[in-house]
């Protein structure tokens, strides 16, 4: 007799253990839900995704024209596996001139944005069961650790350090670790390492590696994501590991690109810098994945990065406009705090994010309901104030954390006043 089966019998076939236990991005899920509600006509200020509205923040005109010209010149075939040589040379010059970091073109790897490079670094350096240490809140390190079959060791941070770790917090956690993943300016907080904070961590990593190499043990690698480093505001300074401690160069992998500083998230040009052997291994991994940046975009980016005056003009403009938005939201939250409402915010330092607090758990709504947890608070401000923001638990923080990320890349400068006015009205309804 021929075996029969129904579609329901085949709807839950097994997949790999990694895929079965992989958790999707809560941020993307939340943003999708918000977009659906906006499409249905709801008036919502969507400040969830770390992206730019190109109508407000277009990419540089010179870069746009360059990309179009390269496509018209039929640069539509495969790029070089490690990135077009002209772009690797341009990145090498750009980083030397603007950050004082000297990496040769052979120590630079180009890919389709920062994400594939982070993934490749994890795959190149982390074996199954290797320990990866990272502070939380942080962006996606939990997922990259899972994809590499590593073991995540989370370091909880708080507002007292602007959610940035220090050597004291990391000291015990690095025992036996294979990778330390750091980000500054930090997504989701928009805060940065002070020179003292990062110097202490660098010295700690170097001391660990000196001891390990003396015993012929695997080193501890430092993955340093600085994709937002050019978007520092006011008196904020960006510091990086190798500039502070050159001896860390053999153990440090930088992640960078044009996505944030040039509002080019969809252009997909990112680069990694580090030891040539590691870059070559990451190149091989990405070669099998096919995560290259498009050739036309690479060639245009190479030309643009050499246009010093155009780059300076664009960066000055975008930094001013982003800072005006961050300051607007920060001042709005401080006004609410001054008037006695249980909210707060950390003064903006960098990137496109404001760290804000809504300390509303346990408060009663006009309908008699109780905001029992942070998820309920998030839903309340969305419903009553039309404000969509991301709770820090979406970035690995504890579910009880009352802190949120506000992203201003899609906001008009006038939005801060309206959002905070709506929030005030919503807060007035609570008791």
Cβ neighbours of 20 (radius 10 Å): 8
**Assigned token pair, 17:** 């253990």
**Directed axis angle between helix 295-305 and helix 85-99, to 10°?**
40
For the entire predicted model, the pTM comes to: 0.94
Going by C-beta distance under 8 Å and a sequence separation of 6 or more, which residues neighbour residue 101? 95, 240, 242, 243, 254, 273
**Assigned token pair, 106:** 């052979």
In the chain, pLDDT over 70 holds for what percent of residues?
A: 98
Top pLDDT among 1 and 356 is at 356
Rounded (10°) CA dihedral 75, 76, 81, 85: 10
The pLDDT confidence band at residue 6, using thresholds 50, 70 and 90, is low
**pLDDT tens digits, 382-422:** 999 999 999 999 999 999 999 999 999 999 999 999 999 99
**pLDDT tens digits, 163-182:** 999 999 999 999 999 999 99
**pLDDT tens digits, 252-302:** 999 999 999 999 999 999 999 999 999 999 999 999 999 999 999 999 999
pLDDT at 8: 60
For residues 140 and 390, give the distance between their C-alpha atoms in angstroms, rounded to a whole number: 14
Q: Does domain 14-56+313-428 have CATH number 1.10.3720.10?
A: no
Question: If you average pLDDT over every residue of the chain, what do you get?
Answer: 95
The pLDDT confidence band at residue 7, using thresholds 50, 70 and 90, is low
**pLDDT tens digits, 224-254:** 999 999 999 999 999 999 999 999 999 999 9
pLDDT at 1: 47
What average pLDDT does this structure show over 94-115?
Answer: 98
Task: Identify whether 121 is preceded by a cis peptide bond (ω within 30 of 0).
Answer: no
Q: Rounded to whole angstroms, what are the CA distances from 334 to 45, 103, 344, 409, 420?
A: 19, 43, 6, 21, 10
CATH, range 61-307: 3.40.640.10
pLDDT at 193 over 50: yes
Q: Where are the domains of the chain?
A: 14-56+313-428, 61-307
What average pLDDT does this structure show over 194-210?
Answer: 98
């Amino acid at each position: 007799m021929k075996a029969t089966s129904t579609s329901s019998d085949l709807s839950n076939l097994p997949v790999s253990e990694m895929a079965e236990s992989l958790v999707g991005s809560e941020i993307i899920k939340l943003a999708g839900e918000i977009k659906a509600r906006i499409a249905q006509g709801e008036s919502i200020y969507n400040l969830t995704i770390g992206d730019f509205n190109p109508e407000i923040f277009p990419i540089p005109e010179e870069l746009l024209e360059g990309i179009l010209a390269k496509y018209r010149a039929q640069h539509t075939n495969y790029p070089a596996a490690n990135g077009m040589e002209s772009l690797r040379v341009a990145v090498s010059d750009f980083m030397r001139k603007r950050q004082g970091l000297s990496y040769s073109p052979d120590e630079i790897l180009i890919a389709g944005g920062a994400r594939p490079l982070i993934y490749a670094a994890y795959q190149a350096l982390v074996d199954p069961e290797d320990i990866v240490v990272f502070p939380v809140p942080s962006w996606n390190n939990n997922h990259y650790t899972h994809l590499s079959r590593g073991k995540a060791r989370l370091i909880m941070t708080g507002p007292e350090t602007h959610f940035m770790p220090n050597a004291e917090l990391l000291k015990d956690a690095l025992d036996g670790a294979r990778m330390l993943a750091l980000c500054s300016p930090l997504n989701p907080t928009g805060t940065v390492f002070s020179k003292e904070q990062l110097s202490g961590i660098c010295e700690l990593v170097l001391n660990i590696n000196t001891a390990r190499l003396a015993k012929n043990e695997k080193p501890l690698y430092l993955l340093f994501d600085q994709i937002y480093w050019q978007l520092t505001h006011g008196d904020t300074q960006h510091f990086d590991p190798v500039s502070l401690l050159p001896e860390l160069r053999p153990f440090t992998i930088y992640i960078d690109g044009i996505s944030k500083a040039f509002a080019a998230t969809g252009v997909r040009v990112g680069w990694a810098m580090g030891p040539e052997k590691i870059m070559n291994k990451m190149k091989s991994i990405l070669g099998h994945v096919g995560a290259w940046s498009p050739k036309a975009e690479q060639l245009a980016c190479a030309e643009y990065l050499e246009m010093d005056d155009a780059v300076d003009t664009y960066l000055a403009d975008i930094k001013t406009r982003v800072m005006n938005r961050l300051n607007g939201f920060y001042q709005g939250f401080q006004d609410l705090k001054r008037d006695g409402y249980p909210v707060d915010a950390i003064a903006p330092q960098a990137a496109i994010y404001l760290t804000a607090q809504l300390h509303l758990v346990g408060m009663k709504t006009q309908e008699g309901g109780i905001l029992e947890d942070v998820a309920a608070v998030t839903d309340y401000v969305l419903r009553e104030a039309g404000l969509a923001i991301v709770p820090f638990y979406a970035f690995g923080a504890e579910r009880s954390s009352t802190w949120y990320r506000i992203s201003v890349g899609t906001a008009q400068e006038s939005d801060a006043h309206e959002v905070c006015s709506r929030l005030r009205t919503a807060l007035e309804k609570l008791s």
